[in-house]
């Protein structure tokens, strides 16, 4: 009886994993809450942003912004290190934020709440007009959506990104693996001595 249910669980888990796992062609921003902390996962760039775009509540020189990002620690989050985003990562985020508008057109996608979806939590908080990127003398402008060149001592905001696997994907993967293990146990031959 247990074997019958484990077989059903294995098949259901595999189907659920295939049905819900994000494909490479899908793009978008996903709100995530991990251990009580709010994040935005970019499925295009496979990176995680802090949802609060102004954690420091101040502006920095380029070097100070880099130092802040590299020392950022958020309890319970295992990452490959927080760092300043590059222009490509900022452009991906900017393009997906509402109101719709391509980079290069004035949209002013900054403010207390900048939405990217229709859910109650689908917004980036406290988005500032300009941020330092990971490249020296390069900022990203949230009025026009592209990078600019300014001296490193210009005061700009800092926003951090990290490589953090999307939690919902990890949950689905775990469910699929449980199903596969249950199925393999069911098919194990019984040896008679």
Q: Where do the structural domains in the chain lie, given as residue ranges?
A: 1-22+169-193, 24-165
Is residue 96 within 8 A of residue 49, CB to CB? The reply is: no
Give the gyration radius of the chain's Cα atoms: 21
Q: What is the mean pLDDT of residues 161-180?
A: 58
Give 97-110 pLDDT, tens digit per residue. Answer: 886 666 777 788 99
73-82, 127-136, 150-159: range with lowest mean pLDDT: 73-82
DSSP-assigned letter for residue 56: T
Other CB atoms within 10 A of residue 121 CB: 12
Q: Residues near 112 by Cβ (< 8 Å), separated by ≥ 6? A: 125, 126
Q: Residues near 39 by Cβ (< 8 Å), separated by ≥ 6? A: 31, 32, 33, 48, 49, 50, 51, 164
Say how far apart CA 31 and CA 33 lie, in whole Å. 7
| pLDDT higher than 50, residue 18 | no
| pLDDT higher than 90, residue 51 | yes
Collapsing DSSP to helix, strand or coil, 16 comes out as: helix
Give 76-100 pLDDT, tens digit per residue. Answer: 676 778 999 999 999 999 989 886 6
pLDDT score at 172: 46
Confirm whether pTM is higher than 0.75.
Answer: no
**Of 16-30, 49-63, 110-124, which has the strongest mean pLDDT?**
49-63
């Amino acid at each position: 009886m247990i074997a019958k249910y484990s077989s059903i669980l294995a098949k259901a888990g595999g189907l659920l994993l295939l049905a819900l796992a994000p494909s490479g062609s899908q793009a978008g921003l996903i709100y995530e809450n991990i251990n009580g902390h709010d994040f935005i996962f970019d499925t295009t760039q496979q990176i995680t942003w802090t949802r609060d775009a102004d954690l420091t509540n101040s502006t920095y020189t380029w070097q100070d912004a880099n130092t802040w990002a590299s020392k950022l620690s958020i309890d319970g989050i295992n990452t490959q290190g927080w760092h300043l985003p590059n222009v490509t990562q900022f452009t991906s985020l900017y393009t997906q934020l509402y109101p719709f508008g391509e980079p290069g057109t004035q949209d002013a996608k900054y403010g207390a709440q900048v939405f990217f979806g229709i859910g109650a939590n689908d917004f980036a908080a406290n988005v500032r007009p300009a941020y330092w990127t990971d490249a020296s003398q390069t900022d990203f402008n949230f009025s026009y959506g592209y990078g600019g060149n300014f001296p490193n001592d210009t005061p700009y905001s800092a926003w951090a990104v990290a490589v953090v696997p999307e939690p919902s994907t990890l949950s689905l993967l775990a469910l699929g693996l449980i199903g596969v293990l249950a199925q393999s146990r069911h098919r194990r031959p019984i040896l008679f001595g």
